[in-house]
Amino acid sequence: MGATSGMNRPITIIGCGPGGEGWLSDVARQAIAAADRIAGAPALLSRCAPPGVEQIAVHTDIEAALAQIAERYETRNTAILVTGDPGVCSLAKSVIRRFGRESCRVIPGISSVQAAFAALGLDWTDARIVGGHAQPPGIPPAELRDTPLVAVLTGHAQTVEWLSQLAALPGCRWQIHACRNLTLPTECVEAITADQIPEAAGKPRTIIVFERLPRTSSPDTRHSTLGTFYGIGTGPGDPGWLTVRGARLLSTCPHIFAPKARIKSESLAHSIAQPHIPPGATIHELVFPMTKDEDALAAHWRVAAEEVAVVLERGEDACFLTIGDPMLYSTYVYLLRALRERLPELKAETVPGVPSFCAAAALTGFTLGEGKTPLTIVPTADDLTAVREAVRKGGTVVLMKIGAQLPQVLEALREEACLDRAVLVSRAGQPDQRIITNLRQLPSDAADVGYLSVILVTATSRLPRPTCPLPPPTSHLPPPTSPLTPPTSHLTPAPSPLVHFVGAGPGDPDLLTVKAARMLVSCRCCVYAGSLVSPAVLALLPAGAEKHDSAGLTLEQTTAICREACGRGVEVIRLHTGDPSIYGAIREQMNELDKMGIAYDVVPGVSSFQAAAAALRTELTAPEVAQTIILTRTSGRTPLPPEQELDRLAQSHATLCIFLSVQRLDDVAETLARHYGADCPAAVVYRASWPHQLVLRGTLTDIAGQVAEAAVSKTAMIIVGRALGRDIAASRLYDATFSHEYREGTQT
């Protein structure tokens, strides 16, 4: 039988590489240019097919596409585009089976599997490649027990269960990697745990790589059998404000690391988390040391990291507790950096927590972000210039880390004529919490009130009244049998039905607070925004609960539902995404409920800006770079006061978290570049904590282009600021020359 020249075969199967620009070979480009018609997935046709050439789009019905290709294929020059390499889990097998080898020419390409191993720096000579995108894998997981490397192309729904079975094989220890959007600007390569497989495999263009670890750890191996390090935000005081994810991790983690200020003191973070920690867990209390300079301070952090590393290197997990949120003015970030230096292959997860200002807003009925009003978060310092500038700019202001500076802060607020529109909440959610709405009544020597306190300064001339009734802290209560088991020890009959404004968190139901989750599983009537609230959160509602989607309702219709339910003796959960006080439009609803004489309260939640910071694995503040955070949004159709426009806010060089504005990112980046510089780090996180979360990192120069390419147009958080950079100095919190309530600084 005579041979057919490859150049003259009617069908050319072309490997187009993993997706990034420049990965298409010259031979492939020439074959595409010579084709009379081109077939392939719509994304490949859009990227590779020249204009004017007949195109055949290949969707899920491959046989239909092949039948269309077969029409007069002998007299046509047909190019069939496949992702990656034609020989790796592609359409090529079906094409060759249909038309025969003698009719097909194959041009190889770089496969996404190759790109994955290149990104991981792994030799894949002995790897097993498993296709799981078009159909579930056809090999039992047990047959791969002794395979050193397994790469799985994901996409089919049943592949997720197969991956979980592979991860759980008895006697196997795996280092699991998720490789997504390889060679694209949005490329993400990260180590994941077995329980993160469903989320990772549910995202498109993802390859999961299993790297088999030795059964016993050795310091000479590339990867040790490291445990996972979890940074858990406990919230400010009430154990019920801990997230479901945090409570679940604490209930199973064998080692809990809790920071405290000095040897004889108790750890507040530990006392908050105590109801969720089982009796058998080992508690490690870290007394963070003092030092005189940054070099010595870094050395002390490495000592603390060494204590944690000893546990992780035994293959055991460890949780580090931090008050509030781990990424807001927290010691966690410094420990995490030291651990990454000590253990380059560290597996770490940050679990956001309710910050003190969200709890304070819930207790006082304060709306932190309303309409288009910006929110500025400022830590107090010896120099109160930042505080004065923040209140002069307008909008809502949060003052944190007050401590012994309280008298000076009060004097500054008095001088700026805003003392009468400020409220102080001390030790929110703790048994000794205090809410002070008349700051003029505080004595001049009230510095002791400042520790663990937050001051909220409203943008209006009228202070909100505290939500009614004020829920009692549950710090002293015994733990429930499960994070979702309704407690019975503190249920006090309410004098009348209540409306509960409940924070639904950013999307992941594990980031609900324990209190919110308990309320949802026993809810009888829920009003929610169907366009925003995660279906996974709504799934917690009982089957018989009344469910009202407020997306198409007016304010009057929404409050009418509450009035009617309360009239029947049914309590209502008004479910808001993130934290209700931040751009939740709750004030107008509260005003209507006040007119009706209906009592209400607020359950704080984790905001999307916190979930975005956790996804970015970065702190929003940095010593000597940015100590102020501004939450804001662009003006859009409704103009802002001049002092609250983005151009004015940017003059502060604070870290900016911009809500509801990704559709105007080009204008945002252009405006901010004038103040921050075009090279300033910028990030966009789409649907933070959802299964299809997308994280885009760049600078003010290129971030808008990345967002456009990813087709992100809503439900995304923009974060801009130099604090997102990697080279950040250490904090002075544990410097021996730095004094605070619990330690007197030493002289130099």
For the chain, the average pLDDT equals 82
When pLDDT is averaged across residues 82-103 and rounded to a whole number, the result is: 82
pLDDT beyond 70 at 731: no
Whether the upstream peptide bond of residue 136 has omega within 30° of 0, thus cis, is: no
Helices (H), 522-662: 535-538, 555-567, 586-596, 608-616, 646-649
Best CA proximity match to 379, nearest among 330, 440, 430? 330
d(CA 597, CA 609) in angstroms, rounded, equals 34
Position 449: which residue type? V
Residues near 579 by Cβ (< 8 Å), separated by ≥ 6? 354, 358, 361, 368, 503, 604, 605, 606, 607
- Residue-wise pLDDT for 176-205, tens only, equals 999 988 888 788 888 888 888 988 888 888
pLDDT over threshold 90, residue 395 = no
Q: Which of 146-150, 166-170, 308-312, 482-486 has the lowest mean pLDDT?
A: 482-486
User: CATH code for 624-728?
Assistant: 3.30.950.10
pLDDT of residue 220: 39
Q: What's the pLDDT score for residue 486?
A: 39
**Residue 464, pLDDT score:** 55
DSSP code of residue 246? H
What's the pTM value of the predicted model, to 2 decimals?
0.63
> Using the 8-state DSSP alphabet, how is residue 660 labeled?
S
Q: Which CATH class is domain 368-463?
A: alpha beta
Please tell me the distance from the alpha carbon of residue 643 to that of residue 666, in angstroms, as a whole number: 21
Average pLDDT over residues 283-303: 66
Share above pLDDT 70 across residues of the chain, in percent, rounded to a whole number: 85
Looking at per-residue confidence, does 323 or 382 come out higher?
Answer: 323
Pull the structure tokens for residue 34: 């010579």
Q: Return the pLDDT at 467.
A: 47
| Structural element, H or E, at residue 298 | helix 294-312
Query: Given this model, what pLDDT does residue 447 score?
Result: 58
Q: What string of DSSP letters covers 474-510?
A: -TTSPPPSSTTSPP-TT-PPPSS--EEEEE-BSS-GG
Is the pLDDT at 103 greater than 60, yes or no? Answer: yes
Ranges 21-35, 310-324, 443-457: which has the least confidence? 443-457
189 backbone dihedrals φ, ψ, rounded to 5°: -125, 120
For the ranges 18-32, 122-136, 282-296, the lowest mean pLDDT is seen at 282-296
| Separation of alpha carbons 580 and 369, rounded Å | 9
Structural tokens at position 676? 């921050």
Query: What's the distance, Cα to Cα, between the start and end of the chain in Å?
Result: 92
Given a cut of 60, whether residue 610 has pLDDT beyond it is: yes
CA distance 578 to 502: 9
Long-range contacts of 94-102 (CB under 8 A, 24+ apart): 94/62, 94/66, 95/11, 95/13, 95/66, 95/69, 96/13, 98/66, 98/70, 99/11, 99/70, 99/73, 102/4, 102/9
Q: pLDDT: is 732 or 373 the higher one?
A: 373
Question: Can you tell me the distance from the alpha carbon of 304 to that of 728, in angstroms, rounded to the nearest whole number?
Answer: 19
Q: What is the pLDDT of residue 52?
A: 86
Residue 495: CA atoms inside 13 Å, Cβ hemisphere, count?
7
Q: Among 466-470, 609-613, 633-637, 651-655, where is mean pLDDT lowest?
A: 466-470
Q: Mean pLDDT lowest for which of 311-325, 607-621, 631-645? A: 631-645
Q: How many CB atoms lie within 10 A of CB 481?
A: 7
Q: Indicate if the alpha-carbon torsion angle 694, 700, 706, 711 is positive or negative.
A: positive
Distance CA(314)–CA(194), nearest Å, equals 18
Cα separation, 296 vs 735, in Å, equals 9
User: Which residue do the tokens 């074959």 mark?
Assistant: 31
pLDDT for res 473: 44
SS percent in the chain: helix, strand, coil, step 5: 35, 20, 45
User: Which tokens is 535 given?
Assistant: 């279906």
Instruction: Inform me whether the pLDDT recorded for 222 exceeds 50.
Output: no
- Topology (CATH level 3) of domain 113-212: 3.30.950
Distance CA 501, CA 298 (A): 43
Q: DSSP E strands: which ranges in 173-269?
A: 174-180, 188-192, 206-212, 228-233, 255-260
**Fold: same for 8-110 and 499-606:** yes
Residue with tokens 């000095």: 262
Enumerate residues 6+ apart whose C-beta is below 8 A from 688: 506, 507, 608, 611, 612, 614, 615, 717
Q: Which of 641, 694, 578, 607 is nearest to 377 (CA)?
A: 607
At 748 the three-state DSSP class reads coil
What's the pLDDT band for 637 if we cut at 50, 70, 90? low
Q: What is the DSSP letter of 433?
A: -
Environment class of 236 (CB within 10 Å of its CB; exposed 0-12, middle 13-18, buried 19+): buried
- On the 0-12 / 13-18 / 19+ scale of CB atoms within 10 A, 148 is middle
- Residue-range domain boundaries for the chain: 8-110, 113-212, 228-355, 368-463, 499-606, 624-728
Q: 526 phi and psi, to 5 degrees?
A: -135, 130
The order of strands in the sheet holding 37-40 is: 54-57, 37-40, 78-82, 11-15, 104-107
What sign does the dihedral 220-221-227-233 (CA atoms) show? positive
pLDDT of residue 273: 94
Confidence of residue 469 (pLDDT cuts 50, 70, 90): very low
- Cα(558)–Cα(574) distance, integer angstroms: 9
Measure the CA–CA gap between 500 and 512, rounded to whole angstroms. 15
Would you state the pLDDT for residue 496?
Answer: 56
CATH class, range 499-606: alpha beta
Task: Concatenate the DSSP letters of all residues of 501-538 into one string.
Answer: EEE-BSS-GGGSBHHHHHHHHT-SEEEE-TTTS-HHHH
User: Could you tell me the fold of the domain covering 228-355?
Assistant: Cobalt-precorrin-4 Transmethylase; domain 1 (3.40.1010)
Nearest residue to 654 (alpha-carbon basis) of 686, 632, 627: 627
pLDDT at 743: 43
Choose from 139-143, 200-204, 658-662 the range with maximum mean pLDDT: 658-662
Q: Which of 577, 365, 603, 354 is nearest to 501 (CA)?
A: 603
pLDDT at position 736 over 60: no
Nearest one of 145, 151, 108 to 128, comparing CA atoms: 151
**pLDDT over 90 percentage in the chain:** 32
Pairing of strands 206-212, 600-603: unpaired
DSSP H or E run through 655: strand 655-659
Cα 517 to the center of its chain, rounded Å: 19
- Looking at residue 97, its amino acid is R
Instruction: Kindly tell me the burial class for residue 123, based on how many C-beta atoms sit within 10 Å of its own C-beta (0-12, 13-18, 19 or more).
Output: exposed
Is residue 213 within 8 Å of residue 201, measured between CB atoms?
no
In CATH, what number does 8-110 get?
3.40.1010.10
Q: In this predicted structure, what is the pLDDT of residue 7?
A: 58
Q: Read off the DSSP letter of residue 421.
A: G
Q: What is the pLDDT of residues 669-693, one digit of tens each?
A: 999 999 999 999 999 999 999 988 9
Burial class (CB in 10 A: 0-12, 13-18, 19+), 694: buried
pLDDT of residue 624: 77
The helix or strand, by DSSP H or E, that contains position 435, with its residue range, turns out to be strand 434-436
Q: Which residues of 637-674 are buried (b: 16+ CB within 10 A; e: fewer)?
A: eeebeeebbbebbbebbbbbbbbbbbebbeebbebbbe
Rounded to whole angstroms, the Cα distance separating 668 from 661 reads: 8
What is the arithmetic mean of pLDDT over 495-507? 83
Kindly tell me if the per-residue pLDDT of 111 is higher than 70.
yes
The maximal CA–CA distance of the chain, rounded, in angstroms, is: 103
3-class secondary-structure state, position 176 = strand
Single-letter amino acid, residue 302: R
CA dist., res. 36 & res. 69, Å (int)? 12
Which residues 6+ apart lie within 8 Å of 241 measured at CB?
A: 235, 353, 354, 359, 429, 513, 514, 515, 604
pLDDT reading at 720 higher than 90: yes
Give the pLDDT of residue 214: 67
250, pLDDT greater than 70: yes
pLDDT of residue 144: 87
pLDDT at 312: 93
